Amino acid sequence: MILTVLMLLSYLVISGITILAMRSRLLDILRIIAGIAFLLIATVTSLNAANPGSFLTFALAICIFVSVEITGFKEYKGDRPRLFLIHAFTGMLSLAYIIMLFTL
């Protein structure tokens, strides 16, 4: 459970740096690899849980991954003024994911 939270936080930090500060193709590939690693850890965590809430935690992990990639796409296309809502959405999804992990 702690590993999953650490993977989520590292993925958010890596994606924040690669999307907002340093744009390059190599760092974008690093962001995708970190996202896939986060999804693998989230899959293992949700498979180990025996309750029905494990599907919800896996769905939240996928939503976080998709939200970060939408942010990367919109930043690439130059739509910076409309990114605040996506950042808020990603933050709330991450908080809900962490709460769900600790309450399972």
Q: Is the pLDDT of residue 95 over 90?
A: yes
Query: Can you spell out the DSSP letters for 13-59?
Result: HHHHIIIII---HHHHHHHHHHHHHHHHHHHHHHHH--STHHHHHHH
pLDDT digits (tens, 9 = 90+) for 74-89: 888 888 788 888 889 9
pLDDT digits (tens, 9 = 90+) for 23-65: 788 888 888 999 999 999 988 888 887 777 788 888 999 999 9
pTM of the predicted structure, to 2 decimals: 0.87
Give the C-alpha separation, 34 to 61, whole Å.
Answer: 13
Average confidence score pLDDT of the chain: 87
Q: Residue 95, exposed/middle/buried by CB under 10 A (0-12, 13-18, 19+)?
A: exposed
